[in-house]
Amino acid sequence: MVTGVRISREDDVRIVDLDSFSESLNFRIVLVYQGEGNSSLRFIDSSLGKEVAFPWWEDPASDIRSWSMSNIPEGSVEAPYWDADQGWHIYIWRVEGSILIAQGGDTENWYENLLKVPIHQYRSEWERLIVSLSK
């Protein structure tokens, strides 16, 4: 059984096996507050037992407070969203009616945390978070 996908360059998202991604129907975006104004962002699907963290993003709540929906991480097949830091990397892109999230760790170009989220749910969660932080 395949436990991940190899993506070595942006063009590889065009040929990724979509069946490798877990269908996320209980997708949530949560901020975890860690004291003294620090926070961390996580994508969670508790029914799948999946969590995608952004460990190197310092205090995302402060950043997201000024965002609109045009700022959310959502790429396309032609131009996927990509970010990386020490021992962490992520691709996020849209395919048809879904957002695909591929997150990996220490192994370069290997992504083992794979979620397929309905696009309306992904955007709704971002909108909920942005609105809650702008109050």
Q: Give the phi and the psi of residue 133 in degrees, each rounded to 5.
A: -85, -20
The domain total for the chain is 1
- Tell me, what DSSP letter sits at residue 89? E
Token output for 82: 């990509």
User: What is the span of the domain harbouring residue 56?
Assistant: 5-134
Q: Tell me how crowded residue 123 is: count the other CB atoms within 10 A of its CB.
A: 15
| Higher pLDDT, residue 10 or 117 | 117
Residues 85-107 have pLDDT tens digits of 989 999 999 999 999 999 999 99
Q: How confident is the model at residue 2 (pLDDT cuts 50, 70, 90)?
A: low
Q: Rounded to whole angstroms, how far apart are CA atoms 111 and 91? A: 9
The pLDDT, as a whole number, for residue 82 is 94
Predicted pLDDT at 12 = 86
User: For residues 123 and 57, what is the distance between their CA atoms, to the nearest angstrom?
Assistant: 20
Token pair 């996580």 in the structure block, residue: 42
Contact by Cβ (8 Å): 92, 74? yes
Per-residue pLDDT tens digits for 47-87:
999 999 998 888 899 999 999 999 999 999 999 999 999 89
Look at the block and give the residue holding tokens 């749910």: 121
SS3 for 68?
Answer: coil
